[in-house]
Homo-oligomer: A and B are copies of this chain.
Amino acid sequence: MPIYTCTIAESTFSAETKRALAGEIARIHSSITHVPSAYVNVAFHELAADGLYTDGVPASPVLVAGWVREGHPADDTTRLATEVSTAVAKICEIDVERVLVVIQPSPARFAVEGGRVLPEPGQEQAWLAES
């Protein structure tokens, strides 16, 4: 259901690091939203050295944008962003100052997976049972 997109400068993370981070994001998302980790997607966009800027100069922030279904309790969404931020810093062994995590929700009824409209938060069980 969710899509987490990590934008980084190329060669910032090894394949092992990316895999470990993807696994940890899946675990965090699942634990907070009650969606099985099997539904958590993580994509890494690795940009050329002249493709990423902060304050107009080349930089290497780690930018994570997550799409989730709208309607989770706001505190849970804040916790999601916080825990993902902590995971990035720890697993990737970078200063948390370089990490920006942003959650961008939109309505579940505006999303389709496996041919079916996604369930509203809290109504996952019936949807999953039909899978």
Contact = CB atoms under 8 A, between A and B. Distances in A.
Interface of A: 1, 3, 5, 7, 15, 18-19, 22-27, 37-48, 50-59, 61, 63, 65, 67, 74, 77-78, 81-82, 84-86, 89, 96-97, 99-107, 109-115, 117
Nearest to A98: B114
B96 A103 contact: no
A81 B18 contact: no
A50 B107 contact: no
B102 A3 contact: yes
Given A15-B50, A81-B111, 12 more contacts: A19-B56, A24-B56, A26-B54, A27-B56, A42-B54, A44-B52, A77-B109, A86-B115, A99-B112, A99-B114, A99-B115, A104-B104
B115 A22 contact: no
21 contacts: A3-B7, A19-B50, A19-B53, A19-B57, A22-B53, A23-B55, A26-B55, A41-B53, A41-B100, A43-B53, A46-B48, A67-B104, A74-B107, A77-B107, A77-B110, A85-B115, A96-B115, A100-B113, A102-B106, A103-B111, A104-B106
